[in-house]
Amino acid sequence: MGGKNSTPEPRTQIKYVPDPSASARVAQLEAKVEKLSSKRPKVEYVKEYVRDPELLRQIEEYQARNRELMEKYDELYQEIRDNNISSFDDLDEHYSKGAEALKRMAAATQPMQMTGVNFALFGITSSGKSTMLNQFLGKQVAATGAGETTTQVQRYDGNGFSLYDIPGKNDEISYFTMEYVAFWKALTARLVLITATVKEMTSVFRLLDAINLKYDIVVNKFDQHQEDERDVLKAQIHAEIKQIGLMGVENVWFISSKFPQMFDDWLQMVHSLTERPQKSNNMTRRNQIETKSNTSFFPQHRARSATSNLVQDQFAAQLHQLQSMGFDDENKNRRLLTKHNGDISSTINSLLNSNHHY
């Protein structure tokens, strides 16, 4: 046939143009999957900071009872880390929504079920926490000295009580977890150590205030300040508390954990701790604590009694005797007299050997 050859028409091509909103959703899901896959198991994370088997057991039981709340904490924790926030001050200033969320969740967090009488010491490196722990327990259990650091929560058991040494972290956001908040709420008392200014621990104070917890401020190493400077430091600390607006301060103590007999606040602090009622969730009544405080609680530092008053009077008389003999450095006299357990002859020999006899 004489028909012309026909050229086939080009096939219609269909090009897929993705919906921008769908692409955004896919990207969000991929990011979420990546975040979840890189997230360490919660128990593994907790074990990084807690090695005590009993406390770990309590934490794991608490996690099992509070899964839903724990997930909310975890979401907030991840948001805080993604925003490069490292302290409660940063959180409050740069991510107020997160700070408010933390306060709400903290209010909903029930205390951990801890038994007995439990205290915790907070403080930065070289604040004297280890020395204070050793004085409370009456024996050398915690390492002391320059450069000592606590990277994990450490528990030390005394007679009828437990003391917890809390890490002084550079990265404070690890405190923003359900486990830490529940642990803090369960404590009988929280002692925050400083040495020269409230500003050393401002962020921790504000966090404790935000979750509505009480605490004592312990100004340690008070012996390192000259006698004529001590009243000035006391006034400064109280002024800073007022200026910063701290709300949860119950007591302020000025002590030397290295030389506890130097200042009356040591015995008064111990007395205050033994008289505090236990949390009702710990199933311990106040009268049980009082019984412990009279028998075994801090046995080497019991509340001020007729005997302790006599010891203090004798100590003051010995200081006066040393001064009358020409030993004018009161700080040195106190340290050596404490070191020699009130033995005046040994103290005099040490003073003479150290060329402090004027």
* Global model pTM greater than 0.85: no
The 3-state secondary structure of 208-277 reads: HHHCCCCEEEEECCHHHCCHHHHHHHHHHHHHHHHHHCCCCEEEEEECCCCCHHHCCHHHHHHHHHHCCC
Rounded-to-integer distance, Cα 310 and Cα 308, Å: 5
- Phi and psi at 171, nearest 5°, equal -105, 95
Angstrom distance (rounded) from CA 84 to CA 185: 27
Nearest to 47 by CA among 123, 153, 124, 138: 153
- If one counts every other C-beta atom within 10 angstroms of the C-beta of residue 317, the result is 11
- The residue among 277, 250, 265, 55 whose CA lies nearest residue 166 is 55
Cβ–Cβ under 8 Å, residues 193 and 121: yes
Show the domains of the chain with their CATH numbers.
Answer: 39-303 (3.40.50.300), 306-353 (1.10.8)
Local structure of 155: helix, strand or coil: strand
Parts of the chain with a pLDDT under 50: 36-37, 280-297, 299-308, 356-358
How far apart, in whole angstroms, are the C-alpha atoms of residue 165 and residue 187? Answer: 12
pLDDT of residue 326: 85
Cβ proximity of 249 and 213 under 8 Å: no
| Beta partners for residue 154, in sequence order | 165
Distance CA 314, CA 301 (A): 17
Task: For Cα atoms 146, 147, 151, give the angle at the middle one, nearest 5 degrees.
Answer: 140
**DSSP single-letter state for residue 122:** E
**Radius of gyration, alpha carbons of the chain:** 29
- pLDDT tens per residue across span 30-54: 665 555 445 555 555 555 667 778 8
The DSSP output letter for 12 is P
